[in-house]
């Protein structure tokens, strides 16, 4: 059995990545489309064989409740729309897969979790990296203390942005700048790899004065997180640097480095082991996966077997709690403790 998905929002990610990979899924299939642009939707529907009666606008989105062919709603809209479309989707009785960042605040995340619980539907946040083979391997190396205890983590996610008109550069729509969009990969992946929560953060942010890209969002966010046993993670996200997506984990007797750590493809995992005076390097080759297909199939299997996903709403909420502490630290210039 393949679970039917309604795709909400036909932007870049939906059209370039998600819908094509949905075609390669084992347990998931495209069942409906939701868009405000009916002309575009008609073209996409024709291309992928979606019937006109399975195409919805934002206005009649709630009618999905009468479409039994749809079991999951995948929300791929600007961040400020995630909450509304999650709550309406849950009320329509559908399981929800929501893109990262989950919303624009921890308070919104709590409302989304509550609405899904009340409706008795599952909520998963699309943290594809937690299902990616090289990242899973790195987590295993850390857990098994392959190179001794981990002491320090560095994570960077940077790219060069160009269009100040895009919603990503409008604070009210994006909920912030580099942090919730790309910094969240450094944050979420570090928590995932260490299987631990930070107890304190310290942050610095910057936007070049007068740059229209950053009128009300940050260009740079740089922060440190303190974990148990004195482990520090040093992270940065930047909207004005040459592309970088790296992870480096420093351990007692070696290091682990991943290039393209957060990319759709191309991950390269290298390790180094201390052997006396020598450092023995190894490239760990692993087959790549279609990350969005794997993520959707994971959720579909959770539905088929009535299990919670590995990245439920609570996982998204946790990142928002920490991001709020990061912003508070950047604004006050002081470390901020996180209480659980
Ligand atoms: P996009 O701008 O390409 O697409 C957004 C879609 O929303 C467009 O179809 C647009 O028409 C529609 N939309 C509806 N109302 C809008 C409004 N008021 N303003 C602007 N657009 C509106 O964005 P995207 O890159 O596809 O991102 C969509 C979501 O997916 C975001 O939450 C983003 O963070 C997430 N995303 C995740 C990944 C990932 O790797 N998991 C990658 C890219 C984007």
Is a pLDDT exceeding 90 seen at residue 301?
yes
Q: What is the mean pLDDT of the chain?
A: 98
Residues of each domain in the chain carrying CATH 3.30.360.10:
133-288+321-337
As a whole number of angstroms, the distance between CA 139 and CA 193 comes to 5
pLDDT band at 170 (very low <50, low <70, confident <90, very high): very high
Report how far ligand 1's centroid is from the alpha carbon of 279 (Å).
44
Ligand 1 pocket member 295 (CB < 6 A): no
Atom of ligand 1 nearest to the CA of 166: 2
Which residue from 10, 19, 57, 77 has its CB within 8 A of the most atoms of ligand 1, so it is best to mutate? Answer: 77
ipTM: 0.99
pLDDT band at 37 (very low <50, low <70, confident <90, very high): very high
Label residue 215 left, alpha or beta by phi (over 0 means left) and psi (-120 to 50 means alpha). alpha
**Which of 74, 127, 185, 327 is an active site residue?**
185
As a whole number of angstroms, the distance between CA 226 and CA 235 comes to 11
Which residue from 8, 10, 12, 13 has its CB within 8 A of the most atoms of ligand 1, so it is best to mutate? Answer: 13
User: 0.95 cut: is pTM over it?
Assistant: yes
Is a pLDDT exceeding 90 seen at residue 340?
no
- For residue 8, list its beta bridge partners: 34, 75
> What does the pLDDT look like over 83-123, one tens digit per residue?
999 999 999 999 999 999 999 999 999 999 999 999 999 99
Q: What integer pLDDT is reported at residue 339 of this predicted model?
A: 87
Considering the domain delimited by 3-128+292-309, tell me its CATH architecture.
Answer: 3-Layer(aba) Sandwich (3.40)
Label residue 257 left, alpha or beta by phi (over 0 means left) and psi (-120 to 50 means alpha). beta
Residues of each domain in the chain carrying CATH 3.40.50.720:
3-128+292-309
Ligand 1 pocket member 77 (CB < 6 A): yes
With 0-12 CB in 10 A as exposed, 13-18 as middle and 19+ as buried, what is 210? exposed
CATH number of 133-288+321-337: 3.30.360.10
Mean pLDDT for the stretch of residues 66-81? 98
185 in catalytic set: yes
As a whole number of angstroms, the distance between CA 18 and CA 28 comes to 11
**Which of 100, 205, 240, 245 is an active site residue?**
100
By alpha-carbon position, which residue is closest to atom 42 of ligand 1? 13
The rounded percent of the chain whose pLDDT value lies above 90 is 99
Is a pLDDT exceeding 90 seen at residue 218?
yes
Those residues with Cβ within 8 angstroms of residue 212's Cβ, 6 or more apart along the chain or in another chain:
164
- Burial of 263-278, coded b for 16+ CB within 10 Å and e otherwise, reads ebeebebebbbeeeee
> What does the pLDDT look like over 323-336, one tens digit per residue?
999 999 999 999 99
């Amino acid at each position: 059995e393949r679970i039917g998905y309604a795709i909400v929002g036909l932007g870049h990610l939906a059209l370039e990545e998600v819908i094509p990979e949905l075609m390669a899924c084992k347990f998931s299939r495209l069942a409906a489309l939701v868009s405000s642009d009916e002309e575009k939707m008609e073209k996409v529907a024709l291309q992928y064989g979606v019937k006109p009666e399975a195409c919805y606008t934002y206005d009649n989105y709630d009618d999905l409740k009468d479409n039994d062919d749809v079991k999951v709603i995948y929300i791929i809209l600007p961040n400020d729309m995630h909450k509304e479309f999650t709550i309406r989707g849950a009320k329509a009785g559908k399981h929800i897969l929501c893109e990262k960042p989950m919303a624009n605040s921890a308070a919104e995340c709590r409302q989304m979790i509550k609405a899904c619980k009340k409706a008795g539907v599952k909520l998963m946040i699309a943290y594809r990296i937690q299902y990616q083979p090289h990242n899973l391997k790195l987590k295993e190396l850390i857990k098994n203390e392959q190179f001794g205890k981990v002491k320090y983590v560095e994570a960077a996610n940077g790219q060069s942005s160009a269009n100040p008109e895009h919603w990503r550069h409008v604070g009210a729509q994006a909920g912030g700048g580099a942090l919730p969009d790309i910094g969240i990969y450094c944050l979420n992946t570090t928590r995932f790899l260490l299987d631990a929560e930070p107890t304190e953060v310290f942050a610095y942010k910057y936007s070049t004065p007068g740059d229209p890209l950053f009128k009300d969002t940050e260009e740079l966010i740089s922060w440190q997180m303190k974990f148990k046993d004195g482990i520090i993670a040093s992270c940065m996200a930047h909207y004005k640097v040459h592309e970088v997506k790296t992870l480096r984990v420093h351990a007692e007797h070696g290091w682990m480095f991943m290039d393209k750590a957060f990319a759709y493809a191309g991950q390269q995992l290298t390790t180094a082991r201390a052997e006396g005076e020598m450092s023995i390097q190894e490239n760990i080759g692993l087959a790549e996966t279609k990350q969005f297909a794997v993520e959707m199939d994971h959720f579909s299997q959770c539905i088929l077997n009535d299990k919670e996903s590995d990245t439920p709403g609570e996982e998204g909420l946790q990142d928002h709690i920490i991001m709020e502490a990061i912003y508070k630290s950047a604004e006050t210039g002081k470390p901020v403790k996180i209480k659980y």
